[in-house]
Structure 1
Amino acid sequence: MGRIIAVYGAIAGVIVAIGMFINVSFIADYGAMGMVAGYLSMLVALIFVFVGVKRYRDVHLGGVITFWKAVGVGLGIGLVASLFYILGWELYMWRTGGTFIADYAANNIEIMRADGKSAAEIAQFSTEMEAFGKQYENPIFRMALTLTEILPVALLVSFVSAALLRKSGFMPATQPRG
């Protein structure tokens, strides 16, 4: 089980980290489009939760797995992928000099100005972002916050995979033709 978790978690982790780099490098949208692209890349990567649980069920358990065992394997894969995601974000922060929060705030202030927000609203947002930026400098806080982005998706995919794959008739293992 450990090997399945490590291998499929690493595959999902590399995919989600690459997706993150593509998102921040080419889409570079701090709004809805960036979020959609980010969560879509997480879902694509976390398909390997399903693949890993199915492989474990079919190869190591003879085609039968309990719901909770499947959830455990799925969460293990999801946690390994989450670690890659966090490390990928930390690498991005290091390579960019940690300017993400300042860039995010500046982008949103421009949007607020374009939307005709009052100077008081903009000043309040700026103050809040400055305080948040101080918190975000703490790597433990930043890593925990980064984990909250991917972990709900990993949980959802793990539970859906477990619900589907606990039924041995769902995508049963195929026997080699002789």
Structure 2
Amino acid sequence: MKRNIFIFGSIAGLILGLFIFVSTLLTGKSGDFPGGALAGYASMVIAFSFIYVGIRNFREKYNQGVISYGKALRVGLGIALIGSTFYVAVWLIDYYVFIPDFMEKYSAHMIAEARSSGLSPAALDQKINEINRLNAMYKNPFFVILMTYLEVLPVGVVIALITALILRRRKPRGAAIPVAG
């Protein structure tokens, strides 16, 4: 089970890592953030589709075509955790090595959006204070790690929950069905 989790978690992680590396270099340099979230979550869904492949592979190759919901969920969560860890590691390298000014640019972008949104002066001040607080908190590496996991891991958890439900199987395919007599 561990080998299966590691293989498919690594595949998901490589997809996530490649996407985050390329996208942050592009958006970090240009300051162009719109549409990044949609592309980011689409890449997460694509990468975490390997949760399905990993659970199915484990069920068919190593578990005689049978898997409980609990075991399927453990496999799926393991794959999600490994994939998410790759994502976090690549983001930390991107952020601290290639684009250390990312948060300042992103904060400036969010403040400009808030100013153009037509908020009342009090609401605008509150929004700017929230953005500045987030920017200050992002200077702590542990906060960066936590926020990055919170960005990616919930997507993997949801996909693992759904996939475990879809792929659970109590009896091997083709098992004899008792006939009432």
Aligned positions of 1:115-126 closer than 5 A: 115-117=117-119, 121-126=123-128
1:58 maps to which residue? Answer: 60
For the 8 Å contact 2:110–2:131, the answer to whether it is kept is no
TM-score by length of 1: 0.84
Q: CA RMSD in A?
A: 2.3
Q: Which runs of 5+ in 1 are unaligned?
A: 173-178
Matches within 5 A, 1:143-158: 143-158=145-160
Relative to the length of structure 2, the TM-score reads 0.83
Which residue identity lines up with residue 168 of structure 2 in the other structure?
R
1:9 maps to amino acid: G
The CA deviation at 1:115 is 3.7
1:29-108 pair list within 5 angstroms: 29-31=32-34, 33-108=35-110
Residue 163 (structure 1) aligns with: 165
Partners in 2 of 1:159 and 1:117 — Cα distance?
39
Aligned equivalents of 1:127, 1:96: Cα separation in 2: 27
CA distance in 2, matches of 1:160, 1:118: 42
- Tell me the CA shift for residue 61 of structure 1: 0.4
Q: Residues 53-102 of structure 1: CA distance to partner in whole angstroms, max 9, x if unpaired?
A: 11100000011101100000000011000100110110110123422221
Describe the SS at the equivalent of 1:167: coil
Q: Which moved more, 1:15-24 or 1:43-52?
A: 15-24
Count of residues in Structure 1 that have an aligned counterpart in Structure 2: 170
* Aligned twin of 2:137: 135
Deviates more, 1:150-159 or 1:95-104: 95-104
Q: Distance in 2 between matches of 1:19 and 1:169?
A: 39
Moved more, 48-57 or 161-170: 161-170
Amino acid at match of 1:16: L
Query: In the alignment, what sits opposite 1:175?
Result: none
Gaps of 5+ in 2: 174-181
Indicate conservation of the 8 Å contact 2:25/2:99, yes or no: no
Structure (1 or 2) with the larger CA radius of gyration? 2
Q: Which residue of 2 aligns with 1:23?
A: 23
Shift of 1:123: 4.5
1:29, CA displacement in angstroms? 4.5
The 2-side partners of 1:143 and 1:115 are apart by 30
Q: Structure 1 residues 165, 116: closer, same or farther in 2, change over 3 A?
A: closer
Which amino acid in 1 is paired with 2:143?
A: F
CA distance in 2, matches of 1:94, 1:49: 30
Specify the alignment match of 2:6 in structure 1: 6
Find the aligned partners of 2:117 and 2:130 in 1 and give their Cα distance. 19
**Inter-partner Cα distance in structure 1 for 2:163 and 2:115:** 45
3-state SS of the aligned residue for 2:67?
A: coil
Report sequence identity in percent: 34
Give how far 1:14 is off.
0.6
